[in-house]
Structure 1
Amino acid sequence: MIIGGFAAQAQAQSNVTIYGIADAGIVGERGGAAGSVTKLTSGVGNASRIGFRGTEDLGGGNSAIFQLEAGTKIDTGENDSALFQRQAFVGLKSKDMGTVTVGRQYTMLYNVLSKTADPFGAGFAGNAKNLFATGGAGTRVSNSLLYTTPSFQGFSADVQYGFGEQAGDNTAGRQLGLAVNYAQGPLKASVVYNNKNNDTAAVGTTPAVRKDRVKNTLFAANYDFGIAKAYFGYEIDKGAGSSPLPVANAFGYKVAPKSSADSTTLLLGVGVKAGTGTVLASYVRKDDKQNNQDANQFGIGYLHPLSKRTDLYAMVAKMSNKNGAGYTIGNNTEAGSGDRAYNLGVRHTF
């Protein structure tokens, strides 16, 4: 009786939202072994997608939540990946106790980089992902459990655990993330630590492989001055695979560049209001302490809103590689093929 009445009440207060992003633009890339590349690309600023998110009121400030998100390619109409591989999770949310979700989710490392540190929002030619370590399991983690505390005087915390789920080994591939966040007034700041076990479990006659753990620590902040917003990011990467190269050997070097197991990355950025639009700019420096293959990136661009949901963009970025480094200028969905690139396109959210 109580359960039935409770379910009926909750059902009456449930809702599902369909949302998405359609983003496509012309991308020009120069300076790599592939030569001069000009193409139409989907997901330059933000990956094109369609998603479903829902909430059901359980009463007492509690609710059940879910989200399913699929990637799509505007240029071809194809699926960007397996269905709902972008995000797929379900959970419970409490005003007093916080939020617990389980499934395939963004890592806090990626969320903080894209939402707090990077004026380009991890998209376009000038995005921070070209030098910051957020690829692969640094972006999303499957089979994960995430807990977010309620906000207390601007402070909150996150804990994420990804089960490795490799047969015969309970530790191989597992991932742990911790974050402390502050958001109040014009200041937003976070400290994130992500630890991934890079071991591979034995498969048949193939023996297990034991590797160094990947440890990434990110400090990020932004401050809104009104007419302009300043951005800062600093990441410390330790362990084999902690700072992977987006492309193995994009410049066709006789000696391929090496991925660093000991590096730091610094970002200084700004977003300045210009009429109805916004000028974005950033400087990113990779300091490779292992191989001395450093790199500097400069990016600048302009976002022009046509409405609250639609904007035009023009972006350009340049990478300076040192001592045989092989970093490329990509965008939100592509790693890029050279050390220079521009983007011209349109983005619509719904």
Structure 2
Amino acid sequence: MKQAAAIVLALGAATAQAQSSVAIYGIVDAAIVGDRGGSAGNLTKVTSGAGSASRIGFRGSEELGGDMSAFFTLEAGTKIDTGEIDAAGTIFNRQALVGLKTAIGSIALGRQYTPYHTTLVNIVDPFNTGYAGSSKNLFPDSGTNIRTSNTISYASPRVNGVDGEAFYSAGEQSTIRAGRQFGAAIGYATGPLTVRLAYNSKNSDVAANGATPAVNRTLGRNTLLGANYNFGWIKVNLGYGVDKGDNAAPLGNPNNPYGGVKPTASTDGRDYLLGFSAPAGPGTVLGSVMHKDDRTGFNQDANAWGIGYLHPLSKRTSLYAAYGHIHNKNGAGYTVANNTESGTGNTGYNLGMRHTF
């Protein structure tokens, strides 16, 4: 009987293990980064996450039966150059979510990426919002445009090439609309073509608190249309964005990086990107040109371009080099960024190494 019981317990444990899984994953990325052209002068430093933000994460799932499963993700950002957490006072600042997946889609709750950001990363930008050629140089990909807390999201399955996603982030203030954010995306993919349209709406109001009066602002709205087409010998990327309202397009570096009159964040702008990636020897060449059309009275337009090369040493390890430059007009304050830093000048370069596990 004892032997039979032991066999039953062992089989039960094996079955449970087969129905659930937990994985540890991460990225270790460090680079020599140079900033040129800003009031801070020429800076050269070692930076963590110039290509892809360094991180360690845990993800898992459990089969619940009836085509339903539970899943979770906990992801912490790290600084390879110092060994610190990349956001003080946090642990899983990058992602922290739990959800259910069914045949009709997935629902998740927690801290998550916005559809605007995932469209920019996966469809529009050949640099995937990293390196010195990042779309962050001109597109408003920062703060809660990237990820939001207190979020409920839904992602549909792909049917005949079409899929969609939506999210709602609660501001959790005494006025329900204050601080809330919501958005959605719909996409189509078939063969070498991928197209996606994303929308983001952000309320930057602050509800009254005791004797402190309420702060009311216009809605910040971002609309992004992206597409790419893989010809085999080259992949072409296109992006067009419309940004309107308060805090729709905050400057990556708001600290007056060029001195003089402080630049003003656009509340009515258009963003354009044309990019490519192409095989070159064992690696890949990346490139893009961008334009910011500021339609406010400040008319602070900007043009930017970037070039990069990714050289794999193995499936998990690669070296990279990237260069970016921005031409600001009428006192605009756009800076050459990378995946984790907003930059301090109008020219920048990265020489780095990236390992995934």
The two structures have a TM-score, normalised by structure 2, of 0.94
Shift of 1:61: 2.2
* Residue among 338, 344, 350 paired with 2:345: 338
**Residue type of the partner of 2:64?**
L
Q: Which stretches of structure 1, 4 residues or more, deviate above 4 A after TM superposition? A: 6-12
Does 2:33 align with 1:38?
Answer: no
Contact (CA 8 Å) 2:258, 2:345: kept in 1 or not? no
Quick one: distance in 2 between partners of 1:210 and 1:218?
25
Shift of 1:298: 0.7
Contact (CA 8 Å) 1:234, 1:267: kept in 2 or not? yes
Q: CA offsets per residue over residues 95-134 of structure 1, 9 Å max, x none? A: x211111100000101110111000000000000111112
Does 2:288 align with 1:282?
Answer: yes
Q: What percentage of aligned pairs have identical amino acids?
A: 55
> For residue 313 of structure 2, what is the aligned residue in structure 1?
306
* Residue among 162, 170, 178 paired with 1:155: 162
Quick one: distance in 2 between partners of 1:336 and 1:131?
12
3-state secondary structure, aligned to 1:240? coil
The within-5 A match list for 1:213-232 is 213-232=219-238
> For residue 273 of structure 1, what is the aligned residue in structure 2?
279
**Residue type of the partner of 1:147?**
Y
Structure 2: runs of 5 or more not aligned: 1-11
> For residue 211 of structure 1, what is the aligned residue in structure 2?
217
**Residue type of the partner of 1:83?**
I
* Residue among 150, 171, 175 paired with 2:177: 171
Does 2:24 align with 1:18?
Answer: yes
3-state secondary structure, aligned to 2:315? coil
Contact (CA 8 Å) 1:11, 1:56: kept in 2 or not? no
Q: CA offsets per residue over residues 69-112 of structure 1, 9 Å max, x none? A: 00001111111121001000000011x21111110000010111
* Residue among 99, 106, 113 paired with 1:106: 113
Quick one: distance in 1 between partners of 2:143 and 2:255?
18
Shift of 1:11: 5.7
The within-5 A match list for 1:1-350 is 12-81=18-87, 82-94=90-102, 96-166=103-173, 168-290=174-296, 291-350=298-357
Quick one: distance in 1 between partners of 2:32 and 2:68?
45
- Number of residue-to-residue matches in the alignment: 343
Structure 1 window deviating more from structure 2 (298-307 vs 193-202): it is: 193-202
RMSD (Å), alpha carbons: 1.4
Contact (CA 8 Å) 2:256, 2:263: kept in 1 or not? no
Quick one: distance in 2 between partners of 1:240 and 1:174?
14
Contact (CA 8 Å) 1:10, 1:57: kept in 2 or not? no
3-state secondary structure, aligned to 1:79? coil
Structure 1: runs of 5 or more not aligned: 1-5
